[in-house]
Structure 1
Amino acid sequence: MANHKSSIKRIKTSAAKRLRNRYQAKTTRNAIKKLRATTSKEDAATLLPRVISMLDRLAKKNVIHKNKASNNKSKLTKFVNGLA
C-alpha cells in the first residue's frame, strides 16, 4: 500500500482515468462494429465521421496508438466507399 499522500492520490486518479479510457475505447469498438455491420451506404456515410472523430480522440489521449487509429480510419473509409 502507498504511504505518501501524493502516491495515494496518484493511485486514485489513475484508476479513474483507466475507467474512463476503458469506457471510451469500448464505446469506439462498438461503434466500429456497428459501422461494419451496416449494409446501406447512406447509413455508413453518416456513421463514418462520428467513428473517425472517436478514433482521433482516443489517439490524441494516447488510449490507442496513432498508427492504429490511422489504420482503422483507412480500413473503414475503404469499407464505406466499397459499399454499393
Structure 2
Amino acid sequence: MANHKSALKRIRSNEAKRLRNRYQHKTTRNAIRKLREADKKEAEAMLPSVVGMIDKLAKKNVIHDNKAANLKSKLAKHVATL
C-alpha cells in the first residue's frame, strides 16, 4: 500500500483516467461498428464524427497513432465503396 499522500492521489487519478479511457475506447468501437453496418447516406454523415473520436483517442494515447491512421483509412475506403 502507498504511504505518501501524493502516491494515494496518483492511484485515485490513475483509476479515474483508466475508467474514462475505457469508456471512450468502447464508445468509439461501437461507433465504428455502427458505421460499418450503416447504409451509404448514414455512413457518410457519421464518418466525420467517428474520425474525430478516433483522433481524440490517438491524441490521448489510448490507441497508437498508426492504429488510428489505419482505422480512418479503412473506414474512408469502406464508405467510398458503398
- Could you tell me which runs of 5 or more consecutive residues in structure 2 were left unpaired when the two chains were aligned: none
List per-residue Cα deviations over 1:11-33 (Å, max 9, x = no partner): 00000000000000000000000
In structure 2, how many angstroms separate the alpha carbons of the residues matched to 1:22 and 1:66?
A: 17
Identity %: 66
TM-score (norm 2): 0.98
Indicate the residue corresponding to 1:28 in structure 2.
28
Secondary structure of the residue aligned to 1:13 is helix
Secondary structure of the residue aligned to 1:2 is coil
TM-score (norm 1): 0.96
Total equivalences in the alignment: 82
| Runs (4+) off by over 2 Å | none
Indicate the residue corresponding to 1:43 in structure 2.
42
In structure 2, how many angstroms separate the alpha carbons of the residues matched to 1:61 and 1:81?
A: 28
- One-letter code aligned to 2:74: K
Secondary structure of the residue aligned to 1:76 is helix
In structure 2, how many angstroms separate the alpha carbons of the residues matched to 1:13 and 1:78?
A: 39
Shift of 1:64: 0.4
Shift of 1:34: 0.3
- Could you tell me which runs of 5 or more consecutive residues in structure 1 were left unpaired when the two chains were aligned: none
- One-letter code aligned to 1:23: Y
